[in-house]
Amino acid sequence: AVIAAATTILTVWEGTDLVAKKDMIGTGHPMTYCHGQTDEFGKVKEGQRFTPAQCKDLLAKSLPKYLTPLQACVKVELPVKTMAALLDAAYNAGSAAVCRSPMVAKMNAGDIRAGCEAFPTWYITTKNNGVRKVVPGLVNRRGGNKNDPRKDEREFCLEGWVEGVAKPEKQSISLWQKIWIYLRTNLKG
C-alpha cells in the first residue's frame, strides 16, 4: 500500500524520461531515465530507449530497496500516506538521509504532525563543484511553494496524519458463531 501510494506522488515529481539523458542536476550519476533512475540497474548509454512498461517495472523494483531501510529506522506506526511521503523523499535523497532527517526524528518521538511540517526546510539544496545551491524543484517537492499545483511531500504526509493509521475492520460474528465459541470454551468432555 505504501509503494502504491508513493508511486502516485513520485511519478508526478520525477516525470518519465523514455530516453536516457545526461543528469544535469549534479547528483554524480552520469545518466537519468524513466522515473529518475540512475545507475541502479547498471550503466545505460545516452539515447537508450525504454518503454512505459519497462519504466513501471524498474520503479517497482526500486521502491522496496528504499522502503526496507525506512521501515527499520521508523520506530512508530505511520499512516500509509505519511510513510509514502517519506518513501518519496528517500527515493529522491536516499534512505539513509531520510532516516537521519528531522521528519523521522520527530515522528519517532511521537509527533507525526511535526515530522510532516519538517519537510519544507529539509534537504532543499544540492552541492555542485563545492557550492551549495537551493534547488527550487526540491523546495516545491518538499512543500515550500504553495503555488505549485502538484501535491508535495508535506501535504501528502499531513493527509496521512489526518487520515490516521488504518485499523483492521472488526469481523462481525453471527449468533451461531457466538454460540459455537461459547460451547467450545465452556463445555469440556
Assigned C-alpha cell, 107: 515522528
- The pTM score is 0.80
Asked if pLDDT for residue 100 goes beyond 90, the answer is yes
Each residue's pLDDT tens digit, 161-174: 999 876 555 556 67
Phi first, then psi: give them for residue 33, nearest 5 degrees.
-160, 170
3-state SS of 72-117 is HHCCCCCCHHHHHHHHHHHHHHCHHHHHCCHHHHHHHCCCHHHHHH
CA count, 13 A, side-chain hemisphere, 167: 5
Percent of the chain with pLDDT over 70: 87
